[in-house]
Each structure stands twice: as structure tokens, then as C-alpha cells.
Amino acid sequence: MFVERRKDLPAHLADVMLDQVENRVADWDSVPQRHRESLIKAGEAALSQPWSVILASDYRTYCEKGDRAGFEALYFARRLMLNDLVLAERLEGGGRFLDAIIDGIVLICEESGWQLPAHNSYERGGARLPLPDPFDPVVDLFAAETAAILTTALQLLSPQLDAVSPAIARRIFDEVDRRVFKPYLARHFWWMGHGAERMNNWTAWITQNVLLATFALPTSQELRHAVLDKALASLDAFLKDYAEDGACEEGVVYYRHAALCLFGSMTMLDCAAPGVFSSLWREPKIRNMAEYILHMHVAGGHYFNFADSSAVVEPCGVREFLFGKAVGSEQLAAFAAGDFQRCETPLMPKEWNLWYRVQAVTLANYLDACRPPQLPVPRGDIFYPGIGLFIARDDIYALAVKGGNNGESHNHNDVGSVTLYKRGQPLLIDIGVETYTAKTFSPRRYEIWTMQSAFHNLPSFAGVMQADGAQFGARDLAFAFEDAEARISMDIAGAYPSEAGLRSYRRRVVLKRGRCVEIHDDHDGDQAAVLSLMVLVEPVLTPQGLRLGDLADIQLAGAGPPLIEPIVITDARLRQSWPQQVFRVLVPLAGPALKLTII
């Protein structure tokens, strides 16, 4: 799709101006006063804070103890502070923040490596080295992101920085060239794509930021063409692993690092080579990728989540708005504009990528005043065959059932799991993922409880859970959407290893519109089956089954006495979605058939 347009590239590839979005030159003077005040206040807060000190021992902690959070807090604190200072200076323009900005730029330029300790490897899945080699840089997600941050800062404040010393701009260029451009062109990193090898969000995310640095810095035409040649191949490698339906197998959180970074990459291409890639915005797959976030939304900040995604995520905003406009989706643009207007912090104060924040700031006045058409947002029934995801709704229930297999990117062992909301409130939940550690992306990943099928809404067999790998998946899947009901059925026995002793486990889930949700499980196997139900509201046993406060009753037929287990939530990432305690209900099957009726 992208490579085939290489022949149409002009000899001269243009510069990208990062504060010119949606075909309008940024008017920094028109930024609404409330946003201006909040950004300058954030810059003042950054002025009062010391820069974080990063020691070699901080970097080594990942290899020695498996901890990511400690180093990353220090690393990202520098970048967030620099972003706040740059935006405040660009708005105020008096030089008050310049000294701190230069300090931040130089500190970052003097880091031994821009890659995270968790990514300090030269091959996919390779051993992580305890310290970065400054003479052999790794281009990972955040090396490229750092290049984008420094590039954006330089472009926004180039005259002011040059007035202090032209050496600042040269230093940024030299460091980006050494740490990103040279290794990008000289090496093959796995995320660039190779044949049928599967890619993930890394491909689009890194490619976007490499393109940004390439076309927003004063690079040569030779370098621009060389980078673009590799980038186009990478974008094709990224797209090949998406089905035509556009579903992101990594979940809603990674939509913003995958599909939205494809949007960012395409924006860079449009600026560098006007007209060459513009027809791609009309490709159905790309539009479907854009609109995926709409179909995953439940209510408020809640989204259907699976894989390494949280149930509660940040509101949509300027990037989704611009993506919707680009692909001709007024529904997505309207949804994103509404979220932007309702959000208390629409200018993304916790965002690392300074370019995203520039987009939000320079379009804030437009989006604040935007009165999107009252379009019917597509939040009804949909099936994503690429990942086997079924979503059905009525005025009461929002239901998702996950098919697919257990070999997907950021996979959890969750084939056949059910997520259910009632009147926008979580009923059957997907717990999500804890804070990343070394174990998260290691051979011990499935020792983590949140990854295991026993902590999804799924059965276990004498303690045997689902196994990981693409060979463990759903089979004989069928679904239907009708006026009176929506239903899906699948055999999930294939998601379990042979030790489970399963011949079949047929799960059928039915949304009887306006009435109830039914789950029918038919078990043919040699081991005792116990169904796990993950719920937010504390259950109480009743003669018919379970009562979840005022939210719902779950009637059980074919079940033995349930056991209720509280689960205390202490992890900071999980606490973004859930309170201090959730519950797992263990429901033994009393025979070959179990029926749950949720009212």
C-alpha cells in the first residue's frame, strides 16, 4: 500500500511544520485563556522542581530486580517537565522558562542511552543488557519518542534557543542523528518488519517519530529519501497484520500507539510529499482502524478491554478528531470533539509526546467552539472477524465476547471470556494488566494472575487453565444479530492443553434485548469444571444464585455451591480502573450443562 507509491515521490521532500495542523497555521495568540493559564501554571510548577537525577544503578535495576517503574519515573519526569516548560515559554514568550528548557535539553542529550532498560536489546526477545552502550544505540519506542520531543522543542523555540547559543540546535541535531538516524539506516531492528514476521504497535509508533524528526529537522534530501524508503516498508509490514475490519488485537490502550501512530505517520507523509499518499485516507481498512475506538466505548471512561488494556482509559481528543476528519468519519470526529470538551485536562498534561500536545493546544480554540453534528455514533452490534470479537448492545446491556486465540500481541489467555456492563456499570469485568515488570514480557508472563484464564470469566478443569500460543484458540464460532436477540457460540476446548481432559466446551452467549443476558456452557470432558466469574460488586448468595447489590441478579442452573473470593487490588495501574477490592466467584459445574441468566 505504501511502498507502491515510492515511484511517485518527488525529488524534493518538504519540511514538516509541527504547529500547523488541519491545514491551518497555528495562532498561539488565540489559545483560550483558561488553557493558556493552565499551561503557564504547569510551566511555573516545572520551574520549581529539580531535574531528576538518573544513575547507572537506576538503569541496572531492571536487569537486577525486574523493576521498570523506578527508572521510568525518573526518565519520563524529565520529558514531562521539558514539555511543560516549552509550552509555557511558547505561549508567554518572555524568556522566563528558557534557562530551565536548556538545562532539560542538555540533560537529555547527555543521557547514556535513550532506550528504556526493558528495551535494551539488539534483537526481538533478546537478553536485556544492564547498561546502554552509547556507541551502539538501540532505537526503541522511547529513543524515537525522545528524538520527537527534542525536535518539536527546537522547532517551537528555535529563534530563542539560537539567541542563547546556536550550539543547542546543533547538539539536538547531532544527538538525534547519532542515536536515531544512523542506527535506523544502518541496522535492521525487528520492529521494522521482515517478511511474515508479526509486527505490533512498535512499528507504527517508532516510524511516526522517526519521520517527525526526519522532516522537522534540517536534514538533507539524501537522508530524507533513505529514511522514507525504510519507513514505507515498515508501514506496510504493520498494516499486513491487521484484518480488513481494522480491529487492534492489542486492545484499546494500544489503539493510540498503533492506529493513531499510523495516522501520525501518514500526516508526516502528506506534509513531506503532498498528494502522493492522500488517496490512502480513503482505504476502508484505514477508516475501520480509525473507528475501532468508537465500537469499543461503553460509557464515560469505560471501554471494552482485553489484552494489556485497562478498562478505564483517557478520553479521546485532538488526535482521534483529526483521524476522523482525515478518513471522513464524522462519527469519530464528533465523538472525539465531545470528549475534548468534557475533559477536565484536554491538553494531555501526562503525555510524553510534545507534538501531540502541540496539536491539542493549537486546536483547542477550534475544538472548544466546535459544535459537531448530532450524528448517531455507531455503538451497536459489531463482529470483528480478525480477532473474533463480538459486541452487542441494547438500552440496558453492553456485551463483549472474545474469541480469537492466545497467540495475539499483548495476549491474555482469555478465549471465550465475557465482559458485560449494565446501564454503563461494570458487571462481569476483565481485570486488565498490572504495572509492567521484567516478568510481563518474559517466558514467565503467564505466572502473572491477570494473564491467566482462571481470572477471566472462564472455566478451569481440575485447576488446568488455558494455554498460551496461537494454536490455542476458539473453533466452530458462529454469531447472529437479530432484532430480538444477539448471540454467539464457540467451542473453547481448543484453548486448553490436553491435561484439561476436554473433548468440547461449547459456550453460547445470548443478549435477549431489553431483558437479560444468558450464558450456556456445555461441557464434555474428564475433569471437574469450575467457572470463574470476575465481578466488581460484592456478590451475595441467594437461593437462585448470586445478587450483585442493586446492579444485577445472576441465576444459576446446573451449578454447585459457589465460592466467593475477595481480591485486594494494590497495583497502581489496576487501581486506575478498579477500587481496592474486586471479587472472583468460583462456580462448580454440577453436570455437563451450566446456564447463567443475568438480569
Q: What DSSP assignment string belongs to 321-377? A: HHHHHHHT-HHHHHHHHHHHHH-S-TT-TT-S-HHHHHHHHHTHHHHHH--------
Domain membership of residue 213 (yes or no) is no
Q: Rounded CA gap, 423 and 410, in Å? A: 29
Predicted local distance difference test score (pLDDT) of residue 26: 74
Q: What is the pLDDT of residue 293?
A: 96
**Mean pLDDT, all residues of the chain:** 96
- pLDDT of 23 reads 65
56-65 and 69-92 helices, crossing angle to 10°: 140
Answer yes or no: are the C-beta atoms of 482 and 505 closer than 8 Å.
Answer: no
**3-class DSSP state of 191:** helix
| pLDDT for the residue 20 | 86
| CA angle, 62 then 64 then 68, to 5° | 15
Q: What is the pTM of this model?
A: 0.95
What's the CATH code of the domain at 397?
A: 2.70.98.70
Confidence check: pLDDT of 377 > 60:
no
Task: State the maximum Cα–Cα separation within the chain, in Å, rounded to a whole number.
Answer: 80
Q: What is the pLDDT of residues 229-283, one digit of tens each?
A: 999 999 999 999 999 999 999 999 999 999 999 999 999 999 999 999 999 999 9
Cα separation of 290 and 284, whole Å?
10
Domain count, the chain: 1
Residue 443 neighbours by CB distance under 10 Å:
8
Q: What is the pLDDT of residues 305-329, one digit of tens each?
A: 999 999 999 999 999 999 999 999 9
pLDDT digit string, tens, across residues 530-552: 999 999 999 999 999 999 999 99
Structural domain includes residue 504: yes
Nearest to 353 by CA among 110, 151, 139, 200: 151
Q: Which residue has the cell 546502554?
A: 132
Backbone angles phi, psi at 363, to 5 degrees: -105, 5
Q: For residue 405, tell me if it sits in a domain.
A: yes
Residue 130 lies in a domain: no
Residue 306, classed as helix, strand or coil, is coil
Nearest to 259 by CA among 239, 244, 229, 274: 239
- Per the structure, the complete domain to which residue 504 belongs is given by 382-598
Question: If you average pLDDT over residues 436-453, what whole number do you get?
Answer: 96
- The total of other beta-carbon atoms located within 10 Å of residue 95's CB is 12
Three-state helix/strand/coil letters over 516-541? EEEEEEEEEECCCEEEEEEECCCCEE
For residue 242, tell me if it sits in a domain.
no
Which residue from 542, 534, 594 is spatially nearest to 567, judged by alpha carbons? Answer: 534
Residue 495 lies in a domain: yes
Classify residue 401: in a domain, yes or no.
yes
Does 208 map to a domain?
A: no
